[in-house]
Amino acid sequence: MLVNDLEISQRVAETGRALTELVGILHNNLEPAVQMNLNTLANGGRILVCGNGGSAAQAQHLVAELVVRFETDRRALNAIALTADTSILTACGNDYGYDKVFARQIEALGTSGDTLIAFSTSGKSKNIKEAIHAAHKKGMRILGISGRKGMNALCEIDIICPGESTAVIQEMHMVVTHMLCACIEKGVPK
């Protein structure tokens, strides 16, 4: 049998514990993260978002919600997923190495006044660290959405999501993404 009731119960319990812990984390970090992004948008800046694997999908999900809409009709918001252009990703990976795939785009697109949102379940991805360093050089603000030990030293704000497994951390990233979108949408002028 592929479906085991005990495994289901254990996974749901782990997710429940992580969600409970996430509430306190969001109480401390969500408002400053939302204000960072609202200030960026109000001042004509853009939000650049990156991540690897499931976090790349999460980056694209966040950008889709900002550019199109989350729950209400409002103006389109200026956001770009650095994970979406396969020609740039593969050319940069080939010519400069995978560690530079996001940093190179930040060099081209990022400006002072923009915000980088960097997803990393481990907080250790070299290309994410390179992206953060490139964003610092550009004078950008940086929001980390991470897991495990996080990226605190590198980010202005790091929402470190709880979870023992990558899957649960990514589930928490989805909650953070939707909370960010809801609050940003609420805060932008119509």
Return the pLDDT at 19. Answer: 96
The pLDDT value given to residue 18: 94
Q: Please name each of the domains of the chain with its CATH number.
A: 16-187 (3.40.50.10490)
CA angle (130 as vertex; 125, 131 as ends), nearest 5: 100
pLDDT single digits (tens) 72-115: 999 999 999 999 999 999 999 999 999 999 999 999 999 999 99
Question: Which tens digits make up the pLDDT trace of 5-20?
Answer: 878 888 899 999 999 9
What φ, ψ does residue 121 adopt, rounded to 5°?
Answer: -65, -35
Burial class (CB in 10 A: 0-12, 13-18, 19+), 57: middle
Q: CB burial class (10 A; 0-12, 13-18, 19+) of residue 58?
A: buried
Q: What are phi and psi of 43, to 5 degrees?
A: -95, 15
Confidence band of 1 (pLDDT split at 50, 70, 90): low
Please, are residues 151 and 165 in contact by the beta-carbon 8 Å criterion?
Answer: no
Helix (H) or strand (E) holding 34: helix 5-42
More reliable by pLDDT, 3 or 54: 54
